[in-house]
Amino acid sequence: MPTLAVHGGAGRLDRRARRAEIDAALERALGAGFDAAGGGALDAAVAAVRVLEDDPLFNAGTGAVLTATGGVELDAAVMVAAGLRTGAVAGVIDFANPVELARAVMEDGRHVLLSGAGASRFGIDCGLAPIDPARLAGAARRQDGSLGGTVGAVCRDDRGALAVAVSTGGTAGKLPGRVGDSALCGAGFYADLAGAACATGHGEDFVRLVGCRRAVELLAGGMDAQTAADRLIEELEARVNGLGGIIVVDSAGRPGVAHNAPYMSWAWRTAGGSARWSD
């Protein structure tokens, strides 16, 4: 049985947040991931993230927050441990599921990160269907920003393969063109033979620390997933006064979650059962 962990963001809890609905959405994401897990760890992680991109409760895809000029700019990424294969997109304005676009970049293999109009052109050339950017911006305005945050998933499948997927609308009111940690390999996501990690919170802090690469280094040094997650958040606070959270799965299939933000939503499912918490 695979191990799959998902998160719905970390930060300050919006008093309007419907926590039961957020928890239910995370359960749906786990379900979709497990349904897709026969195809491997990457299929599971991407399927889980797609569910959350389609849910306006979260700051990704349909529920993404607005930039300072009233638009939507989406970032997403995927990575698999085998061969360190990676794909990412940044500043996407016309794809509601940028995680699929990021996967297409990885599978194409020529580049790691595409941005803006070039990423959109690539997606169309790959046969992915764009949408009117006004639809994404309109959804964000109706929601007045999302109630959850950035979304992500890490998975170890039955064959021991490891993968991570992440998607975000970035920071509310960000300057157009801003790229946070979710599109940057090693900062907001990373997968290697020792494990996989996905971050959420103040992206600039994880960029400065190269936080997810650091978490996987801790796994490679012998820590289990929970210990590595705890240590990473300690270092995030101590070294850059950072705020956020992280989900981790190690090569043995053990999950870990840690955060120093006031709130983080997450869930996991393993052979030993499941856990879900919005704390």
Residue 157 is predicted with a pLDDT of 97
List the catalytic residue out of 67, 86, 150, 200. 150
Tell me the per-residue pLDDT of 215-270, one tens digit each, with 9 for 90 and over.
999 999 999 999 999 999 999 999 999 999 999 999 999 999 999 999 899 999 98
Residue 17 is predicted with a pLDDT of 58
Q: Verify whether residue 150 is a known catalytic residue.
A: yes
Residue 145 is predicted with a pLDDT of 42
Q: Are 71 and 179 in contact (CB under 8 A)?
A: no
Among candidate residues 265, 274, 217, the one with its CA nearest the CA of residue 7: 265
Residue 138 is predicted with a pLDDT of 78
The full 3-state SS of the chain, as one line of letters, equals CCEEEEEEEEECCCCCCCHHHHHHHHHHHHHHHHHHHHHCHHHHHHHHHHHHHCCCCCCCHHHCCCCCCCCCCEEEEEEECHHHEEEEEEEECCCCCHHHHHHHHHHHCCCCEEEHHHHHHHHHHCCCCCCCHHHHHHHHHHHCCCCCCCEEEEEECCCCCEEEEEEECCCCCCCCCCCCHHHCECCCEEEECCEEEEEEECHHHHHHHCHHHHHHHHHHCCCCHHHHHHHHHHHHHHHHCCCEEEEEEECCCCEEEEECCCEEEEEEEECCEEEEEEC
Residue 168 is predicted with a pLDDT of 96
To the nearest 10°, report the CA torsion of 245, 247, 6, 27.
-90
Confidence of residue 87 (pLDDT cuts 50, 70, 90): very high
When pLDDT is averaged across residues 149-176 and rounded to a whole number, the result is: 95
Residue 277 is predicted with a pLDDT of 62
When pLDDT is averaged across residues 119-137 and rounded to a whole number, the result is: 93
Query: Residue 41: pLDDT above 50?
Result: yes
Q: Are 55 and 24 in contact (CB under 8 A)?
A: no
- In the sheet that holds 195-201, the strands lie side by side as 189-192, 195-201, 244-250, 255-259
Query: Residue 15: pLDDT above 60?
Result: no
Q: Where are the domains of the chain?
A: 3-271
Tell me the per-residue pLDDT of 195-220, one tens digit each, with 9 for 90 and over.
999 999 999 999 999 999 999 999 99
Confidence of residue 141 (pLDDT cuts 50, 70, 90): very low
Confidence of residue 149 (pLDDT cuts 50, 70, 90): confident
Q: What percent of the chain has pLDDT over 70?
A: 92
Query: Residue 142: pLDDT above 50?
Result: no
Query: Residue 24: pLDDT above 90?
Result: yes
Q: What percent of the chain has pLDDT over 90?
A: 82
When pLDDT is averaged across residues 55-68 and rounded to a whole number, the result is: 92
Sign of CA dihedral 259, 137, 181, 268: positive
Q: Minimum mean pLDDT among 44-48, 52-56, 108-112, 142-146: which range?
A: 142-146
Tell me the per-residue pLDDT of 42-52, one tens digit each, with 9 for 90 and over.
999 999 999 99
CA triplet 33, 34, 35: central angle to 5 degrees? 90
CA atoms within 13 A on the CB side of 222: 0
Into which CATH architecture does domain 3-271 fall? 4-Layer Sandwich (3.60)
Higher-confidence position of 248 and 141: 248
Residue 121 is predicted with a pLDDT of 97
User: Residue 246 region, left (φ>0) first, then alpha (ψ -120 to 50), else beta?
Assistant: beta
Residue 146 is predicted with a pLDDT of 46
